[in-house]
């Protein structure tokens, strides 16, 4: 759970207790595409909940008016504590992430396209790598290929930028544009231009280094501290009224709460 002056975020787990949402905290609804039905049963008990833009749209369509946008995936390290990006990078293209077809089936054909470049480029595809080994790989990469599962600005955005790599992100992802400028701080790609863009940025050292440096200068926007402050400010004007709603729910017997939520 992360604390800021007026709001606490708690990741809502799969085996959540709906009544746990009736607190002064603000549930952070990550992975709503996988946990939607659990959230649907519990969200009426929360004063307000934060999730990504797609989650807000899905939950609002389902009748929940208390879902609000927040960028949930921030760096836990302050910019002043980050080591400067290293110059020597021996990996041309890096993909590192979940490749479970039950969850990330849409991602797999894109990873296969990266693998097809391995005859002429140094391509590393990894999964199940965490901690120091994970960050070491990011710091060795010239380009980090990223593909979100639901159009969110995910954790790897900030991690790749902080590592000094050039981030490749699907062009349809609009959340990232709240923090980074396409074509300046990262490279938006589509199915039609992925390989030509990869070749261009690998062949042009100056372009690649300018892009990475521009993004690294903005990494402060992607820290958890900054993002939580932004989320708190976005709901400050309505938080008291939303909490009063939860207080009314608390006065209803447990057996009747589902009728009022």
Domain that holds residue 30: 2-74+223-260
The Cα–Cα gap between 202 and 208 comes to: 7
Q: What is the DSSP string of the chain?
A: -EE-SS-EEEEPPTT--GGGGSSSSEEE-TTHHHHHHHHHHHGGGSS-EEE-HHHHHHHHHTT-S-EEE-----BSS-GGGSPPPPS---EEEEEES---HHHHTTTHHHHHHHHTTTTTS-EEEE-S--HHHHHHHHHHEEEEE---SSS---HHHHHHHHTTPEEEEETT--GGGGTS-BTTTBEEE-TTTHHHHHHHHHH-HHHHHHHHHHHHTTGGGGBHHHHHHHHHHHHTTTHHHHHHHHHHHHTS-GGGHHHH-
User: Are 58 and 146 part of one and the same domain?
Assistant: no
Q: What backbone torsions phi and psi does residue 30 show, to the nearest 5 degrees?
A: -80, 160
User: In residues, how long is the chain?
Assistant: 261
CATH of residue 140's domain is: 3.40.50.2000
Identify the residue with better confidence: 30 or 194. 194
User: Are 189 and 115 part of one and the same domain?
Assistant: yes
Identify the residue with better confidence: 79 or 121. 121
User: Are 27 and 45 part of one and the same domain?
Assistant: yes
CB-CB contact of 70 with 227 (8 Å)? yes
The Cα–Cα gap between 184 and 191 comes to: 20
User: Are 233 and 203 part of one and the same domain?
Assistant: no
Round the average pLDDT of the chain to a whole number and report it: 85
User: Are 96 and 217 part of one and the same domain?
Assistant: yes
The Cα–Cα gap between 119 and 111 comes to: 15
Please say if the pLDDT value at position 12 is more than 80: no
Please say if the pLDDT value at position 141 is more than 60: yes
User: Are 57 and 108 part of one and the same domain?
Assistant: no
Please say if the pLDDT value at position 224 is more than 80: yes
Please tell me the pTM assigned to this model.
0.85
Q: What is the pLDDT of residues 38-91, one digit of tens each?
A: 888 778 777 788 899 999 999 999 988 889 999 988 887 766 566 666 678 999
The whole-number pLDDT of residue 92 equals 98
CB-CB contact of 137 with 94 (8 Å)? yes
Q: What is the pLDDT of residues 148-203, one digit of tens each?
A: 999 999 999 999 999 999 999 999 999 999 999 999 999 999 999 999 999 999 99
The whole-number pLDDT of residue 14 equals 46
User: Are 44 and 117 part of one and the same domain?
Assistant: no
User: Are 155 and 131 part of one and the same domain?
Assistant: yes
The Cα–Cα gap between 38 and 94 comes to: 34
CB-CB contact of 75 with 219 (8 Å)? yes
Total domains present in the chain: 2
CB-CB contact of 88 with 139 (8 Å)? no
Q: What backbone torsions phi and psi does residue 49 show, to the nearest 5 degrees?
A: -135, 145
Query: What is the mean predicted confidence (pLDDT) over 202-217?
Result: 96
CB-CB contact of 35 with 194 (8 Å)? no
Query: What is the mean predicted confidence (pLDDT) over 125-150?
Result: 95
Of the chain, the percentage scoring pLDDT greater than 90 comes to 57
Query: What is the mean predicted confidence (pLDDT) over 90-116?
Result: 96
User: Are 237 and 163 part of one and the same domain?
Assistant: no
User: Are 210 and 252 part of one and the same domain?
Assistant: no
The whole-number pLDDT of residue 45 equals 73
User: Are 254 and 130 part of one and the same domain?
Assistant: no
User: Are 161 and 201 part of one and the same domain?
Assistant: yes
């Amino acid at each position: 759970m992360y604390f800021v002056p007026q709001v606490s975020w708690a990741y809502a787990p799969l085996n959540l207790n709906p009544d746990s949402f009736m607190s002064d905290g603000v549930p952070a609804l990550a992975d709503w595409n996988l946990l939607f039905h659990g959230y649907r049963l519990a969200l009426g008990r929360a004063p307000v909940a934060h999730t990504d833009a797609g989650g807000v749209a899905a939950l609002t369509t389902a009748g929940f008016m208390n879902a609000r946008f927040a960028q949930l995936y921030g760096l836990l390290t302050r910019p002043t504590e980050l080591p400067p990006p290293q110059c020597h990078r021996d990996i041309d293209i890096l993909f590192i992430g979940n490749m479970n077809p039950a969850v990330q089936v849409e991602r797999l054909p894109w990873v296969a396209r990266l693998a097809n470049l391995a005859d002429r480029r140094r391509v590393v595809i990894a999964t199940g790598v965490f901690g120091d080994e994970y960050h070491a790989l990011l710091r060795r990469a010239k380009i980090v290929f990223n593909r979100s599962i639901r159009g969110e600005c995910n954790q790897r955005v900030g991690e790749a930028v902080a590592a000094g790599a050039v981030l490749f992100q699907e062009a349809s992802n609009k959340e990232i544009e709240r923090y980074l400028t396409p074509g300046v701080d990262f490279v938006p790609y589509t199915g039609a231009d992925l390989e030509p863009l990869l070749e261009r940025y690998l062949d042009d050292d100056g372009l690649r280094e300018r892009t990475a440096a521009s993004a690294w200068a903005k990494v402060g926007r992607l820290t958890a501290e900054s993002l939580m402050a932004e989320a708190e400010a976005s709901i400050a004007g309505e938080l008291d009224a939303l909490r009063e709603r939860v207080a009314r729910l608390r006065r209803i017997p447990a057996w009747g709460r589902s009728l009022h939520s």
